[in-house]
């Protein structure tokens, strides 16, 4: 921790607050147990719902028999998909395609699909009842493997696909009918045939990734309650309150002002709580029963909602010149969408576009297909598929370099996408200093460049080092709006729909307000998401909030500033440019003695003692939709952010076990608004990805997840965290970023998996191409090598 990272809560005396690390606003409430989460909120006459779920992966619902259950004590009602239909304007929901029924009335597409909900006076009674509901199925042939699902004779999972039209960036991507390919994204850059024809050597490799879970401490939970007027209130663990409002309104067929979404403290998000989860069902039930209804999931149910979307097949073909230039790269990806599209189309497009790596490659071809199967619907988990898309390319970089006798780091450097170079999408990169990330990684890990196996360390163990780099375009276009009010005593409220989920967003936004209005942070409070109160924000995901909401906040602050300055300018008869804000006062830049506190200015503007100033700000970046045939656009994203990992590992060649001795995570962040938050985002993301890289994987048998408890699905513990962990952030201000900031929440996940795989080769000479890198896979690879 350097000086600027010292935790500092003292009132600002004109010193900047940007670049300091005050403690989190919500920290005291959280550590003292006083913070309220959705599940803690008190309601009177609250009812509890428990879902009856499909035990088959594909079929038709013949009959649901709940007669015996309805006789049980405490059971209020059992409601089926059929019962819901008359109450829904649209029985289907989904952010990209409207393909997912609120409760299925007919077709079942995955194990765990909700079929009915048992509502009872207690959560226990509801769950007990749900277990006893009898379901009669007609099974249909199911398909779990993406390559089988795209065969012409495969069972078709969706007869018709309806785009939802919610996303500007997905308008050009149309689903395919009568096929399990939900979407096919194409990127065409240069001339791929010529590129390969001119190459001296061509490398081909196939990789895969596994679905993983994120497991926030707070699982999915929603409560809904209907007012006498019919207006519905929803309290929910969601990262997207505004999307929930519009989707609930759409499905219920009511105006959006009749839906109010509140978001209390969120116990972690990681992409698990995006778009709509339980809210629609809770809202319908509350309306039907005229009582508040809570739906909450146990872990085994939660993971049936939100495992990550994996890419079981990632094929890569790369042509290089003997001088070490990459001339052509062809990537073919098949994503396992699972039974419903959810966020899959966006992953298949936005994440796949980085599959050729952060390199200057003249000829690139990417085909990314999203394939429906009867697996659990895949979702975004921290990184939005980018860690999966980065994985094959960055391992193959080392495969190529080792085969050609080049230093893998040098090979990366000489092909790197430096400032001013054009990315395969057609966008020219700026404010993305990737070379500094590589330099920092190589310096901190002590890269020797020798490329030779390293055998120092404990006897019988082998050591190796690996480096990898990833790049992500931020989700674009998305919109953020903010409101700021300054009361007569110059205390300030920021109204924002950005969800504070442990990432420190509210603290960071407060710092921006304090800096912009030259006030101590204690003068600024934050009003969090409540859709009747806080203005529009698209969603709190994908490392976008600091940049987008930050810009909206600065624009809102600018309106306040203008009101203060223009009033004083008139009063004093001096031009506005001569005035500035400092330490809570409007001051004259030239004459130190001339200053007037904000509170006095406000009293002059508005003679009522309770008067206040309002500032509004909204931000939506420019965007050019990519050409549907080539994926080319000059402005795919408002900013790109790069991150890399370097590791030193020790391998036990007799067991295949990998121990990470040192882990370095470097991100380029534009400007660190709150350096401690930036570092903890980098290290937190890295530790999360460490589990995904080494041992985490959701395992399925006939579409049923078999390791759906924490006894069997293991996540890293403190004992799994490397003894030496270093993080570094590289600053190069982004011209459009608030104070130059970009985003950082996902950066630490991008490149860790390939860095470990590359270190593994350095240590023991094997390439393991499917994640996770379990000891068993490593040992098999070592044995295969020995057998050769």
Partner 1 sequence: MSEFTWQEPESLEEVLAILARGQADTRLVAGGTALGLMIQQDLLSPGPLVSLRKLRHEFGGVVRQEDGTIHIGALATLRELERSEPLNRWAPVLITALGHIANPRIRNMATIGGHLAYAEPHLDLPPVLLAMGASVRVRSLEGERWIALSELLQGYYSTTLEPGELLLEVAFPQQTSVSQGSYVRYTASSSDDWPMLGLASFVESDGGAVKDIRLVVSGICPAPTRLSAVEELLCSEKLSLSLIDEAARMAAGQFEVFDDIRGSAWYKKEILQVLIRRVLKRLTSL
CA distance 564 to 758: 57
- 293-296 and 47-53 beta bridge pairing: parallel
- Note whether 662 and 726 are within 8 A (CB): yes
Q: Convert residues 297-336 into a mask of x (bound to partner 1 by CB under 8 A) and - (unbound).
A: ---x------------------------------------
Pairing of strands 524-527, 492-495: parallel
Q: Which is nearer to partner 1, 374 or 774 (CB)?
A: 774
Question: Which window, 63-71, 147-155, 340-348, 652-660, contacts partner 1 (CB under 8 A)?
Answer: 652-660
Paired tokens of 447: 């890269």
Which of 714, 724, 785, 786 binds partner 1 (CB under 8 A)? It is: 714
DSSP bridge partners of 52: 116
CB 714, min distance to partner 1, A: 4
Question: Which among 507, 530, 444 is positioned nearest to 677, based on CA atoms?
Answer: 507
Q: What's the CA gap between 120 and 293, in Å, rounded?
A: 9
Ramachandran class of 412: left when φ > 0, alpha when ψ lies in -120 to 50, beta otherwise: alpha
Residue 342 to residue 541: CA distance in whole angstroms: 15
Q: Least distance to partner 1 from the beta carbon of 130, Å?
A: 11
Supply 144's token pair.
């779990």
Site track 665-694 with partner 1 (rule: CB under 8 A), x = hit: --------------------------x---
Please give the backbone phi and psi of residue 545, each rounded to the nearest 5 degrees, phi first: -70, -45
Which stretches within 485-631 are classed as H helix? 505-516, 545-572, 598-605
Centre a 10 Å sphere on the Cβ of residue 355 and count the other Cβ atoms it contains: 28
Nearer to partner 1 by Cβ, of 247 and 650: the residue is: 650
Half-sphere exposure (Cβ direction) of 157: Cα atoms closer than 13 Å: 34
Nearest approach in angstroms of CB 721 to partner 1 is 10
452 near partner 1 (CB under 8 A): no
| The one among 104, 128, 363, 612 contacting partner 1 by CB under 8 A | 128
Contact between 28 and partner 1 per CB under 8 A: no
Number of residues that bind partner 1 (CB under 8 A): 27
> 604, 683, 704, 707: which one contacts partner 1 (CB under 8 A)?
707
Q: Which of 106, 712, 784, 786 binds partner 1 (CB under 8 A)?
A: 712
Residue 217 contacts residue 37 (beta carbons within 8 Å)? no
* Cβ contact 585:547 at 8 Å: no
Return the residue of 147, 156, 403, 706 that touches partner 1, per CB under 8 A: 706
Nearer to partner 1, 122 or 178 (CB): 122
Rounded distance between C-alpha atoms, residue 725 and residue 684, angstroms: 11
Query: Taking the complex as a whole, how short is the minimal distance between the CB of residue 371 and partner 1, in angstroms?
Result: 25
Closest distance to partner 1 from the beta carbon of 289 (Å)? 23
Rounded to a whole number of angstroms, the minimum distance from the CB of residue 44 to partner 1 is 24
Element (H, E) at 548: helix 545-572
Identify which of residues 452 and 711 has a Cβ nearer to partner 1 in the complex: 711
Least distance to partner 1, CB of residue 719, Å: 4
- Of 699, 702, 724, 786, the one binding partner 1 (CB under 8 A) is 699
774 lies in the binding site for partner 1 (CB under 8 A): yes
531: tokens are 């859709």
DSSP label at residue 419: T
Q: What is the closest distance, in whole angstroms, from the C-beta atom of residue 9 to partner 1 in the complex?
A: 32
Give CA–CA dist 611/90, Å, rounded: 45
Q: Does 709 bind partner 1 (CB under 8 A)?
A: yes
Among 77, 87, 107, 127, binds partner 1 (CB under 8 A): 127
Q: What is the 3-state secondary structure (H, E, C) of 317-333?
A: EEEECCCCCEEEEEEEE
What's the CA dihedral at 498, 725, 689, 207 to 10 degrees?
140
Q: Which of 493, 585, 555 is nearest to 530 (CA)?
A: 493
Cβ at position 610, least distance to partner 1 in Å: 51
Contact (CB, 8 A) for 410 and 133: no
How far apart (Å, rounded) are the C-alpha atoms in residues 51 and 192?
Answer: 51
Q: Residue 775, interface with partner 1 (CB under 8 A)?
A: yes
Residue 719 touching partner 1 (CB under 8 A): yes
458: contact with partner 1 by CB under 8 A: no
Rounded CA-CA distance 689/683 in Å is 10
| Spatial contact of 384 and 350, defined as CB atoms under 8 Å apart | yes
Establish if 124 lies at the interface with partner 1 (CB under 8 A).
yes
Residue 546 φ then ψ, to 5°: -55, -45
Q: Is 695 in the site for partner 1 (CB under 8 A)?
A: yes
| 16-20 own/partner pairs: CB under 8 Å, 24+ apart | 16/515, 17/511, 17/514, 17/515, 17/521, 18/511, 18/512, 18/515, 18/671, 18/673, 18/739, 19/671, 19/672, 19/673, 19/675, 20/511, 20/674, 20/675
Q: Which of 357, 369, 383, 270 is nearest to 312 (CA)?
A: 369
Q: Is residue 131 a contact residue for partner 1 (CB under 8 A)?
A: yes
784 in contact with partner 1 (CB under 8 A): no
Closer Cβ to partner 1, 73 or 255, answer by number: 73
Q: Does 779 bind partner 1 (CB under 8 A)?
A: yes
CB 215 → partner 1: shortest distance, Å? Answer: 12
> Which is closer to partner 1, CB of 208 or CB of 774?
774
* Min dist. Cβ of residue 442 to partner 1 (A): 30
Q: Which stretch binds partner 1 (CB under 8 A): 58-66, 626-634, 675-683, 772-780?
A: 772-780
* Closer residue to partner 1, CB minimum distance, 109 or 462: 462
Q: Of 300 and 583, which has the nearer Cβ to partner 1?
A: 300
Question: Which CB sits closer to partner 1, 30 or 127?
Answer: 127
Report the interface residues with partner 1, using CB under 8 A. 124, 127-128, 131, 300, 654-655, 657, 691, 695-696, 699, 706-707, 709, 711-712, 714-717, 719-720, 774-776, 779
């Amino acid at each position: 921790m350097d000086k600027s990272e010292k935790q500092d809560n003292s009132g600002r005396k004109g010193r900047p607050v940007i670049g300091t690390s005050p403690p989190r606003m919500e920290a005291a409430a959280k550590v003292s147990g006083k913070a309220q989460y959705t599940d803690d909120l008190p309601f009177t006459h609250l009812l509890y719902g428990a879902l009856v779920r499909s035990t088959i992966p594909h079929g038709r619902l013949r009959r649901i028999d709940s007669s015996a259950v309805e006789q049980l004590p405490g059971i209020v009602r059992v409601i089926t998909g059929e019962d819901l239909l008359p109450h829904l304007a649209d029985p289907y929901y989904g952010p990209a395609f409207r393909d997912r029924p609120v409760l299925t009335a007919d077709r079942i597409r995955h194990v765990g699909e909700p079929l009915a909900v048992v509502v009872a006076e207690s959560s226990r009674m509801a769950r007990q009842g749900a277990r006893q509901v009898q379901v009669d199925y007609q099974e249909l042939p199911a398909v779990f493997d993406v390559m089988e699902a795209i065969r012409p004779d495969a069972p078709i999972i969706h007869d018709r696909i309806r785009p939802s039209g919610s996303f500007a960036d997905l308008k050009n991507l149309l689903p395919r009918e009568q096929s399990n390919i939900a979407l096919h994204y194409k990127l065409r850059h240069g001339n791929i045939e010529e590129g390969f024809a001119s190459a001296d050597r061509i490398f081909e490799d196939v990789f895969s990734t596994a679905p993983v879970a994120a497991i926030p401490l707070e699982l999915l939970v929603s409560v809904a309650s209907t007012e006498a007027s019919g207006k519905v209130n929803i309290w929910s663990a969601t990262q997207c309150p505004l999307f929930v409002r519009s989707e609930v309104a759409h499905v219920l067929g009511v105006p959006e002002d009749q839906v109010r979404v509140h978001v209390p403290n969120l116990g972690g998000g990681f992409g698990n709580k995006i778009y709509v989860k339980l809210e629609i069902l809770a809202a319908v039930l509350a309306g039907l029963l005229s009582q508040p209804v809570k739906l909450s999931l146990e872990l085994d149910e939660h993971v049936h909602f939100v495992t990550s979307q994996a890419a079981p097949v990632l094929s890569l073909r790369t042509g290089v010149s003997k001088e070490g230039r990459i001339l052509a790269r062809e990537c073919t990806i098949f994503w396992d969408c699972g039974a419903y599209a959810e966020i899959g189309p966006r992953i298949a497009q936005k994440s796949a576009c980085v599959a050729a790596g952060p390199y200057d490659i003249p000829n690139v071809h990417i085909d990314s297909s999203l394939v429906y199967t009867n697996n659990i619907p895949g979702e975004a988990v921290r990184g939005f598929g980018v860690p999966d898309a980065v994985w094959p390319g960055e391992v193959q970089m080392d495969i190529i370099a080792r085969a050609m006798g080049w230093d893998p780091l040098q090979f990366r450097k000489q092909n790197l996408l430096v400032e001013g170079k054009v990315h395969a999408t057609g966008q020219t990169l700026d404010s993305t200093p990737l070379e500094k990330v590589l330099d920092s990684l190589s310096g901190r890990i002590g890269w020797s460049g020798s490329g030779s196996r390293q055998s120092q360390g404990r006897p019988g163990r082998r050591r190796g080092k690996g480096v990898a780099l990833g790049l992500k375009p931020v989700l674009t276009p998305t919109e953020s709006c903010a409101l700021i009010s300054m009361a007569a005593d110059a205390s300030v409220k920021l109204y924002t729909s950005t969800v504070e989920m442990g990432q420190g967003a509210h603290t960071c936004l407060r710092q921006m307000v304090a800096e912009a209005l030259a006030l101590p942070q204690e003068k600024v409070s934050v009003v969090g998401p409540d859709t009747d109160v806080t203005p529009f924000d698209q969603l709190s995901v994908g490392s976008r909030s600091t940049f987008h909401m930050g810009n909206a906040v600065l624009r809102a602050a600018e309106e306040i500033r203008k009101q203060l300055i223009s009033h004083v300018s008139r009063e004093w008869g001096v031009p506005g440019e001569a005035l500035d804000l400092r330490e809570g006062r409007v001051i004259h830049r030239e004459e130190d003695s001339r200053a007037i506190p904000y509170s006095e200015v406000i009293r002059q503007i508005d003679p009522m003692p309770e008067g206040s100033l309002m500032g509004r700000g909204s931000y939506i970046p420019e965007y050019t939709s990519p050409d549907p045939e080539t994926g080319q656009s000059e402005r795919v994203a408002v900013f790109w952010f790069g991150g890399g990992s370097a590791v030193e590992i020790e391998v036990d060649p007799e067991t295949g076990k990998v121990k990470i001795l040192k882990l370095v995570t470097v991100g380029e962040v534009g400007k660190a608004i709150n350096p401690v938050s930036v570092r903890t985002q980098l290290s937190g993301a890295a530790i999360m990805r460490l589990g995904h890289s080494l041992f985490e994987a959701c395992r399925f048998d006939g579409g049923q997840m078999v390791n759906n408890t924490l006894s069997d699905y293991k996540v890293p513990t403190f004992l799994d965290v490397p003894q030496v962990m270093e993080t570094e952030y590289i600053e190069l201000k982004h011209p459009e970023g608030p104070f130059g900031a970009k985003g950082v929440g996902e950066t630490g996940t991008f490149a860790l998996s390939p860095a470990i795989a590359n270190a593994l080769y350095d240590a023991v000479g094997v390439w393991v191409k499917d994640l996770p890198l379990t000891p068993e896979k490593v040992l098999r690879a070592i044995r295969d090598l020995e057998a050769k």
